[in-house]
Structure 1
Amino acid sequence: MNLSIFLSASLTLAFLIFNVKNSERFNIIDDRLHQRLIRNRDGFSWQVVAFLNDPKLMVVWAVLLASTLIDQNKYQTALWVLATLGGTDLAGIILKKLVRRHRPDLHSDMENGYSFPSGHVLGATSMALILVHLFGAKMGTGFVIGLLVIWLMVVISRLSLKAHYPSDILAATSLAIICFSITQQVFL
């Protein structure tokens, strides 16, 4: 991945962490943006999208992908897939415990734990980046657009279910890009 993308993601994540932890004004603006984004989001079962992209289920998808790669004797690539998702998830868990941001008001009782960064978006972004890297050139633009649509559905589901603030989504996306970039350099 491009160094400028890595640096942009790193600066974005640092900016978000600092402001979520230290700026009441930033958090008020983030909450107001969240309120505007969640209006009139009923009518579609976003729980289904959230379930299919649950961080625990994303691990299952990664193991299945790695198993397929092992069957094709692509051991290093399989290890990269597992390290990318595993490392990203671990970084997300650590960041959640360091920041300790509570979820937005009116979030579902099914949503527990801290909200920053979004684990669902973190996993969906990581998996999308992995799949684009592995199959994007071969499968073409339609495949990449399909992954983008799925990713957007995950983002909308997390906001619609009132589980995350917009900055949680942006932080997860930035963290996934950072971890993806690092594991690419280490494994590929």
Structure 2
Amino acid sequence: MNLSSHLDFFIAGLILVLLIFNIRNSRMFNFYDRWFHHKLGKQNDSKIWQIITFINEPKLIAGWDVLLAGLLFITGHPHLSKWVLITLIFTDLLGIFLKRAIKRQRPQNSSQVRLGYSFPSGHVLSVTIMGLIIWHLFGKFGGFLLLLTIIGTWFLVVISRLKTKAHYPSDIIGATTLGFFCFAIAQQFLMLV
């Protein structure tokens, strides 16, 4: 690991541990998280937020990931293909593990009747890791426009999760942080392949 990767890994890990600790142990943290969730405005289930939620469904992102891996494989990049698949699988598995370990209930006024837990947001986690993968692979070619597209997509997913009241703000922060944490690990595996 180079110094930058160590720093990314350490900072993301520290934020993640602090979030988990506070979610599980701090009434004050949870009070303000719920208060902020409430203050973000009334629930908005308009079609646009539902479409954004659907397009960025973790299962659909996994499909895009498989398509990207397939394209990398047929264009002569089998190692990158494996890396793309392993990165998303590892990230999703860690996200599922955290959901089941922390068992944070979804907000009561959530518009979506979803089974499962709230922390971390699966939608935000998937779009974060996929955005980091795409930037890593195509950032030099896509430049500023690609960066804006990735950030814009991430931002729309975050807003959709908050507007539909499906997650608390800390679920969003946790998912984004977990995405960066897993990506810092995945970059090290890329060097080994």
Q: TM-score, normalised by structure 1?
A: 0.95
What percentage of residue pairs aligned between the two structures are identical? 46
| Alignment partner, residue 22 of structure 2 | 19
CA contact (8 A) 1:38 1:159 kept: no
| Alignment partner, residue 122 of structure 2 | 119
What one-letter code is carried by the residue in structure 2 that aligns with 1:176? G
1:29 and 2:24 matched: no
| Alignment partner, residue 167 of structure 1 | 170
What does 1:9-158 correspond to in 2, within 5 Å?
9-39=12-42, 41=44, 43=46, 45-158=48-161
Shift, 1:43, TM fit: 4.9
Deviation per CA, 1:108-166, whole angstroms, max 9, x where unpaired?
24322100000000000000000000111111101111110010000000111111000
Q: Distance in 2 between matches of 1:63 and 1:40?
A: 34
Deviation per CA, 1:82-133, whole angstroms, max 9, x where unpaired?
1111000000000000000000121124322100000000000000000000
Q: Distance in 2 between matches of 1:143 and 1:174?
A: 21
CA contact (8 A) 1:38 1:162 kept: no
Shift, 1:68, TM fit: 0.2
**Number of aligned positions between the proteins:** 188
Q: Which moved more, 1:130-139 or 1:105-114?
A: 105-114
CA contact (8 A) 2:22 2:30 kept: yes
| Alignment partner, residue 10 of structure 2 | 7
| Alignment partner, residue 185 of structure 2 | 182
Q: Distance in 2 between matches of 1:169 and 1:138?
A: 29
SS of residue paired to 1:132? helix
List gaps (5 residues or longer) in structure 1. Answer: none
Cα 1:52–1:42 shift into 2, 3 Å:
closer
Q: Distance in 2 between matches of 1:142 and 1:45?
A: 23
What one-letter code is carried by the residue in structure 2 that aligns with 1:28? F
Q: Distance in 2 between matches of 1:73 and 1:113?
A: 39
CA contact (8 A) 1:84 1:183 kept: yes
Q: TM-score, normalised by structure 2?
A: 0.93
